Amino acid sequence: MSTETTTAVEKKESLFSKKNRKLLTDPLDDSNPITVQVLGICSALAITVQVQQAVIMSLAVLFVMIGGNVIVSLMRNIIPDRIRIIVQLVVIASLVIIVDEVLKAYSPDISEKLSVFVGLIITNCIIMGRLEAFALGNKPGPAMLDAVGNAMGYAWILLAVALVREVFGSGAISFPGMGQVKFLPDSWFYANGGFYENNNLMILPPMALVTVGVIIWIQRARNRSLIEEN
Amino acid sequence: MKALHKLVEERVKPNFTGEGKLKRFWVVFDALETFLFTPGHTTAKGVHVRDGIDLKRTMFLVILAMVPALLFGTWNIGHQYYLSLGDITAADPWNAMLFDKLIVGAIKVVPLIVVSYATGLGIEFVIAGMNGHAINEGFLVSGMLIPLIMPVDVPLWMVAVATAFAVLIAKEVFGGTGMNILNVALTARAFLFFAYPKQMSGEIWIHDVMASKAGGVLADGYTGATALGHLANTVGQPVQGEVSNGVMAMFADGGLFSLMNCFIGTIPGSVAETSALAALIGAAILIWTGIGSWRIISSFIVGGLVMGVIFNQLGLNAYMTIGPVHQIVMGGFMFGAVFMATDPVSAAQTNTGKWIYGFLGGFFSIMIRVFNPAYPEGVMMAILFMNVMAPTIDHYVIEANVRRREKRLTAAVA
């Protein structure tokens, strides 16, 4: 399906024209869905305790976003305006159910850890937002790029936050398929007469918020045009 | 003084100004110069009177008010240490060994103060240098408060991490001194409480109690838990049960946590929070110099007393049967009321707002401490919570004032 749409777009405009490339790169930085638009915060706070959950969550969101954006973009001319939200919801919900079932089948333990948050992808504002703001008015090719860009923008924040939280909160690193690897020697910890202790606050959601806040701080210190005037 | 002034003005200053070699470190010079001499600033326009009591003198007076608590705390660390070893008895706290006690205390307190100031001021210097701001004295009080509310045996690197977190996240992010929403010192304490719960509870209130226990030299029956720690055990127990009776015996006259001991402060606890008396001396200095708000301090105490009376009436567990006066002289209540709640930046700004802010702060302090044994020190939570609520309180106080004046105006016109 994607090859067909790609050739259709290429007739007028290259899929990787400068404008389309911006669709891919903008969400990574200047219009990042989490740090600039402040969407999808709930899942970013809830599932960033371990990197492996963040990776799986990012992949799930990537899949749902690409699917949703392309499908809605293909149907954009036949969706009646009045019921478009319901149609979008049906599309997203079907995709989320696919993700949920696949996760349950192939990686039940991570599925258990992500618990309701896979199901809650349906209500992830980033996805609804991109469908409303982009897919409904654009061809499938750019819609796909937009989906990839935004999903990646979501993913790198998630991974960055999860990395900080897991390293300082659990003294470990995890990756899907690899499990969690504790890299600090046991003898470092107070329980074994050492001098170190993991930061328990990192495991609690408030620290995820603070970590996202620090990323926002750094981003706005680098790019002052992002600072709101009041 | 003249020679020093000449040296600073002629030899040192040119290095930092204009094209001097060290002009990147101007903020450092500026900060240190104002320690030596009053800056020669004059107002450029408008009102030409500069208030003599500036930020530095305010901060200095608060530190002065903390000195009784600090000295008593230092002594008390040593006192509790020898008590835990069984070298002295609780019945006679004013015996000899004054200097031994002070030395043990100083060994614990001085590193805490050094770490807190070094970390906090280091971050302030770097940030001020990056932003081209002048370094101000805002951290002087926070840097002193942080060691005073730490458990005695807390690892020093944790103090450094907590201080860094508090200065960066609670203060610099919001724009530095005078812009913070939360009390900086309490943020550091709360950070430690949640980040390292294992190190912030249990046997850390007495110097080396773990080692004493391991070495078999610990005095019989000495546990090293704080008053609030003991009382937390009674929650969920029958009022006249075995556990409750055992704990309440310590709070009766002649026990370790008798009303008098709690008031004087010869009990285990954070470095300088144990003595209600020292906190009250500090309160007297703050109120007399007009730096601390007497409205906040008094309403905070009243709030705690009211909650204590309510709990007395309920009497559902042994914790609730503790007298209201006894409640407010335990733990960090007094220290919090005098030095934390009165923080002029994070407290309510309006006079009516200060009454509400203080009252609710005291009220919630006792409530949290009794209802939730997982948070033995309710004062920290209550003050941070009221810090967050303070702008809302002020908003409604001002709105009410606007409405009252509006009504008066319409009445006068009609």
| pLDDT per residue as tens digits for the range A6-58 | 444 445 566 677 777 778 788 887 788 888 888 878 888 888 888 888 898 89
Write the CB contacts of A204 (distance below 8 Å, at least 6 apart in sequence): B194
CA angle B23–B24–B30, rounded 5-degree value: 70
Q: Which domain holds residue A136?
A: 2-10+17-158
- Cα(A162)–Cα(A203) distance, integer angstroms: 10
**Cβ of A195 under 8 Å from any chain B Cβ?**
yes
Across the interface, of B169, B191, B199, the residue whose CB is closest to A197 is B199
End-to-end CA distance of chain B: 68
Q: Which residues of chain A have a CB within 8 Å of the CB of B130? A: none
A213 at interface of B, judged by CB pairs closer than 8 A: yes
* Three-class DSSP category at B315: coil
Report which secondary-structure segment, H or E, holds B157.
helix B156-165
Among A190, A199, A214, whose Cβ lies nearest the Cβ of B195? A199
Residues in chain B: 414
Q: What is the pLDDT of residue A1?
A: 40
Task: Output B52 or B257, whichever has higher pLDDT.
Answer: B257
Q: How many CA atoms lie within 13 A of B195 on its CB side?
A: 26
CB of A192 within 8 Å of any CB in chain B? Answer: no
CA–CA gap between residue B210 and residue B147 (Å, rounded): 21
Tell me if A229 is assigned to some domain: no
pLDDT bracket for residue B283 (50, 70, 90): very high
Amino acid type, B326: H
pLDDT for the residue numbered B280: 93
Chain B contact present for A210, CB below 8 A: yes
In a domain, A175, yes or no: no
- pTM for the structure as a whole: 0.84
Torsion of the alpha carbons at B204, B207, B212 and B213, rounded to the nearest 10: -20
More confident residue, A56 or A230: A56
pLDDT over 90 (residue B1): no
- Count the helices and strands in chain B (H runs, E runs): 19, 0
CA-atom Rg of chain A in angstroms = 20
CB within 8 Å: B173 and A202: no
Q: What is the mean pLDDT of residues B357-372?
A: 91
Q: Give the model's pLDDT for residue B403.
A: 95
Selected residue of A200, A209, A211, A216 to mutate for chain B interface (largest B Cβ count, 10 A) = A200
Place A4 in a pLDDT band, splitting at 50, 70 and 90: very low
Whole-angstrom distance, CA of residue B413 vs CA of residue B373? 57
Domain count of chain A?
Answer: 1
Give every CB contact of residue A159 below 8 A, 6+ residues apart in sequence: A51, A54, A55, A58
CA gap A120, A117 in Å, rounded: 5
Average pLDDT value for residue range B116-139: 83
Q: What is the mean pLDDT of residues B221-245?
A: 76
Residue length of chain A: 230
Q: What percent of chain A stands above pLDDT 90?
A: 15
The pLDDT value recorded for residue B220 is 62
Phi, psi of A182 (to 5 degrees): -85, 120
Give the residue among B363, B362, B323 at the shortest CA–CA distance from B231: B323
| A110 in any annotated domain | yes
User: Distance, in angstroms, between A198 CA and closest chain B CA?
Assistant: 7
Residues sharing a CB contact under 8 Å with residue B408, sequence separation 6 or more, in sequence order: none
pLDDT for B405 equals 94
Name the residue of chain A whose CA is nearest to B154's CA: A195
Helix (H) or strand (E) holding A175: strand A172-175
Comparing B64 with A177, which gets the higher pLDDT? B64
Q: Is residue A166 in a domain?
A: no
Quickly count: other Cβ atoms within 10 Å of residue A52's Cβ.
24
Measured between beta carbons, which residues in chain A are less than 8 angstroms from residue B198?
A: 190, 197
* A190 vs B194, B195, B199: nearest CB: B199
Residue B173 clears pLDDT 90, i.e. is over it: no
How confident is the model over B281-298, as a mean pLDDT?
92
- Rounded to whole angstroms, the Cα distance separating A207 from B348 reads 27
* Domain contains A213: no
Residue B357 tokens, joined: 């802010």
Considering only CB atoms, B194 lies closest to which of A190, A195, A204, namely A204
- The better pLDDT of the pair B54, B119 is held by B119
Mean pLDDT estimate for chain B: 84
Residue A211 falls inside a structural domain: no
pLDDT at B96 over 80: no
Query: What's the pLDDT at A2?
Result: 44
Are the Cβ atoms of B195 and A200 closer than 8 angstroms? Answer: yes
| C-alpha separations of A189 from A184, A186, B115, B137 in Å | 9, 6, 21, 37
- The model's confidence at residue B390, banded by pLDDT at 50, 70 and 90, is very high
Separation between Cα atoms, residue A41 and residue B400, nearest integer Å: 36
| Chain A residues in contact with B170 (beta carbon < 8 A) | none
Worst-scoring range by mean pLDDT, A39-43, A70-74, B103-107?
A39-43
Lowest average pLDDT, out of A24-33, A95-104, B46-55, B291-300, goes to B46-55
A contacts of B194 (beta carbons < 8 Å):
200-201, 204
Q: What is the mean pLDDT of residues B250-259?
A: 80
Q: Cα dihedral sign for B57, B59, B61, B67?
A: negative
B388: burial class by Cβ within 10 Å (0-12, 13-18, 19+)? exposed
